[in-house]
Amino acid sequence: METVKYKLKKDDQVTVIAGKEKGKSGKILKIDREKGKVVVAGLNMVKKAKKPRKQGDKGGIVDIEAPIDISNVMIVCKKCGPTRVGIEGDGDQKVRKCKKCGEVL
């Protein structure tokens, strides 16, 4: 399966634009480019049963972040809020810019 190029990166501040977490924001922890999913800190929490792996570890039910479809999140610009991303060549390197105000992200 092909990996798709996305304009989002790890540690980007994003807001959710669709689904049960709509309107909430957080930082991207992980991007799965093959499946088109992102894991956002503190959002889409699910319960998971955890087995103790070593002696002394505690098992039980823990809360973890589940992946969200990448199309349901939008990057947040510091000036103007949720926005789309454009890529422009700045000399010999490419930079990501806000589509609303033109600020480098």
In the predicted model, what is the mean pLDDT of residues 30-58?
A: 90
Residue 38 has pLDDT above 90, yes or no: yes
21 HSE (CA, 13 A, CB side): 22
> What is the chain's mean pLDDT, rounded?
88
d(CA 86, CA 95): 8
Q: What is the DSSP letter of 71?
A: G
Band (2; pLDDT cuts 50, 70, 90): low
How much is the pLDDT for 1? 58
The pLDDT value recorded for residue 78 is 85
**Residues above pLDDT 70, as percent of the chain:** 97
**What is the token pair recorded at 67?**
């992946």
Give this prediction's pTM: 0.78
